[in-house]
Amino acid sequence: MPIPEIIFKPVDELASMIRTRQLSPVELVRACLDQIEALNPKVMAFITVTGEHALEQARRAEREIAASHYRGSLHGVPYAPKDLFATKGIRTTNGSKVTANWVPDHESTLTQRMNEAGAIMLGKLNLLEFAMGSGQRGLVGPARNPWDLGYSPSGSSSGSGAALAAGMVPLALGSDTGGSIRNPAKSCGVVGLKPTYGRASRFGVTTLSWTLDHPGPMARTVAGVASVLQVIAGPDPQDPTASHHPVPNYGEALNRGVEGLRIGVPTEHFFDHVYPETETALRRAIASLKEMGAVTVDVKVANADLCGATSSLILDSEATAFHEKRLKEHAALLDPLVRERLEAGKFNSAVDYIRALRIRTLLMEEMRRIFQSCDVMMLPAGNAAPKLEGEIVGTDAAPHPPLPRRPDSYNLANITGIPAIVLPCGFTAGPPVLPLGIQFCASPFDEATLFQVAHAYESATNWHTRRPLLAG
């Protein structure tokens, strides 16, 4: 069956077609469900597909729009959340045998906001177990990279990245504690935003680390991500850490251009272990932005080499605390890597944990200093996706040869809470031909400037228009 081109249209085009009734939400949902049916057995992006529910919501959206009750730019647009987001009455597995049959009695704030905006949920997306498991196991088996099924989509929002790349859904929600939105965005050639800490409510999202968790949007374009953030951002009485910082009009930022924009480029640490091909793509992207009028500023982030250990200590300590009861009662059901990490976390001392939080203070102050000299800072987004069997499986099956060292691309933004976006910046020569990504981060609550620079770069390139052969 030929792939309907509508499933790969950018969200702003879909929204316009739906609003002007050139496209029915029912037709769009059916096209996505057909793509899911055709590809999910190979890609394993979805754990649960809620087809009938989605069609019912699509018919409702169609009626509302026909009656001129248009809710906004996401009305009638399909989306899917990572299966870490509680969805009332619809099973939420966390990718784990422990919660395989959990049906929540409450809705996460972010899916509720998406639903109230008229977006249509197609199902629940695959992930690494509890956002921390191995790339090889999980409740239904790993999601696979649509660009090459022998490769990982990266995680932990693995299904979110894979579903977008495969054209199964135009919008997704993920969560990012140490790169879990940005890494799959890079590996799947899509756009992922880790918002500022507190920009999007964590209510109803299963915790990995209270300090480092950031739920956020993913899409195939920067505008798509911006449109989701517009809907999900804002305070939430059910999450005291959700900020009251004003939510700007993100759409207005998209077309500001980059004339005079200062892009910080780190001179140390972050380019360690970046492969030459990746670095070439990154430098070429920066050169493009300079041609558009941006200026680059060399920056050095003091104590950047402490990011990895700081993040690990905070994350593992808090994850172990959160899962303490689960570890005691259901250890045998856990993914071996999850169990290993939680047991190892028990050996962390409170004094060391507090030390990590103090180093966090210093890194946050350092980033405030950095952003006095630049508007955004560019970072690598890791190397291209690894082979699926190259993902971490835990010491019960140690990899041979040992895994290559990875760049420390993601932890800084989680530790300091600053927003960070990843978008495509090229492809490897292959084979296989795999996406490469570039990352930008900005001051707290300055997602608008991230959208400004990312959209400018995206508009000057066509990486985002390419699709995997598998997707048709």
Partner 1 sequence: MINVAALTVGAGTPVAGAESGISLSALHNASALNGLDLSDDRLRLLKPVLEQRMPGLQRLRAFELDDSVAPTQGILDN
Q: Which residues bind partner 1 (CB under 8 A)?
A: 196-198, 211, 241-245, 303, 305-306, 308-310, 312-313, 340-341, 343-344, 346-350, 352, 354-362, 364, 395-396, 398, 417, 443-445
User: CA dihedral defined by 72, 78, 82, 83, rounded to 10 degrees?
Assistant: 110
At its nearest, how many Å lie between partner 1 and the CB of residue 462?
36
Asked if 108 and 204 touch (Cβ cutoff 8 Å), the reply is yes
Asked if 108 and 66 touch (Cβ cutoff 8 Å), the reply is no
* Residues 460, 278: Cα–Cα separation, whole Å: 19
Asked if 416 and 443 touch (Cβ cutoff 8 Å), the reply is no
| Sign of the dihedral through C-alpha 419, 420, 423, 425 | positive
At its nearest, how many Å lie between partner 1 and the CB of residue 361?
4
At its nearest, how many Å lie between partner 1 and the CB of residue 312?
6
**Strand 214-219 relative to strand 78-81, pairing:** unpaired
Q: Which residues are annotated as catalytic?
A: 82, 156, 180
User: CA dihedral defined by 144, 221, 408, 291, rounded to 10 degrees?
Assistant: 140
Identify which of residues 286 and 374 has a Cβ nearer to partner 1 in the complex: 374
Maximum C-alpha span of the chain:
62
How many alpha carbons fall within 13 Å on the CB side of residue 203? Answer: 22
* Residues 2, 130: Cα–Cα separation, whole Å: 36
Please list the residues that pair with 151 across neighbouring strands: 387
Asked if 384 and 187 touch (Cβ cutoff 8 Å), the reply is yes
Identify which of residues 57 and 443 has a Cβ nearer to partner 1 in the complex: 443
Identify which of residues 115 and 416 has a Cβ nearer to partner 1 in the complex: 416
Count of CB atoms situated within 10 Å of the CB of 317? 23
Burial degree of 46 (CB within 10 A; 0-12, 13-18, 19+): buried
At its nearest, how many Å lie between partner 1 and the CB of residue 356?
6
Please list the residues that pair with 440 across neighbouring strands: 378, 421
Identify which of residues 325 and 358 has a Cβ nearer to partner 1 in the complex: 358
Go through the chain and tell me how many residues it has. 472
Asked if 406 and 308 touch (Cβ cutoff 8 Å), the reply is no
Identify which of residues 167 and 198 has a Cβ nearer to partner 1 in the complex: 198
At its nearest, how many Å lie between partner 1 and the CB of residue 318?
10
At its nearest, how many Å lie between partner 1 and the CB of residue 344?
5
- Residue 239 is given by DSSP the state B
At its nearest, how many Å lie between partner 1 and the CB of residue 349?
4
At its nearest, how many Å lie between partner 1 and the CB of residue 355?
6
Q: What is the rounded radius of gyration, in angstroms, for the C-alpha atoms of the chain?
A: 21
> 435-452 burial, b if ≥16 CB within 10 A, otherwise e?
bbbbbbbbbbbbbbbbbb
**Strand 120-121 relative to strand 78-81, pairing:** parallel
* Residues 22, 9: Cα–Cα separation, whole Å: 14
